[in-house]
Homo-oligomer: A and B are copies of this chain.
Amino acid sequence: MSRKPSRSRLRRDDEKERRREALIDAAEAVFARHGFEAAKMEDVARRARVSRALVYVYFKNKAELQFAVCRRALRVLRERLSAAADGEKRGYDKIVAIGRAYMAFASEFPLYFAALSRFEAHQPDRIDAGSSERAVLEAGVAVHEVTIAALTAGARDGTIARIDKPMLVALTLWGYTHGAIQIAQTKAAFLEEVGLSADEFLAHAIRFGLQGLRPAKGAKP
């Protein structure tokens, strides 16, 4: 028996959504400036020109805000990876492009990458259906789908070995790449100390990590 929502109802929902986004904007700025741990809800509120209490109306707590940032991060990431893959013809090249695009993403949006790192490192006790944590996970799957598509394309055109469980490979690649970027990013100063540049490190990581995808010599496409 649901009635058609009134015009003003729709408009207000819209404004609510806008405010929500504005709060995430503010949170991103504060997180970027002070880091997640040190970031205070008060700062987020001030930056959004709103009382602290209102932030709690939109987000149950700081963790929920972080999840919201993660979802944004994964949305942007998916676009980038997708565009990168579309720019290449052969499956193998798509995968290389995806790896590079992830690295570019990390250096273009360090905050987003840091948010994802936190999410990866965080061990949840339970993930309820419908929770925002679950939503982040699902956004993650959407990203993996891009990789999976490239892998199957590669299997078809013969540039990548046949794979029975593409999700397994996609996750492996994701873990590898994420791990490598994380070192390059958080330990950049240390890398310098031992005479390595972060770029050099990442370039090597890409070259090195993709060997496993090569099809056996003489395998038919």
A contact set with B: CB distance below 8 Å: 35, 114, 117-118, 120-124, 127, 137, 141, 165, 167-169, 171-172, 174-180, 182-187, 189-191, 194-196, 200-201, 204-205, 207-209, 211-212, 214
For residue A205, which residues in chain B have a CB less than 8 angstroms away from its CB? 172, 175-176
Residue in B127, B183, B207 whose CB lies within 8 Å of A120? B183
Query: Assuming the A-B contacts A114-B123, A127-B189, A214-B211, are A201 and B172 also in contact, with contact meaning beta carbons closer than 8 angstroms in the complex?
Result: yes
Sample of 17 A–B contacts (CB below 8 Å): A120-B183, A122-B186, A124-B186, A127-B189, A137-B187, A137-B190, A168-B200, A171-B183, A171-B201, A172-B204, A175-B182, A207-B212, A209-B209, A211-B211, A211-B212, A211-B214, A212-B212
Q: Are A182 and B120 in contact (CB under 8 A)?
A: yes
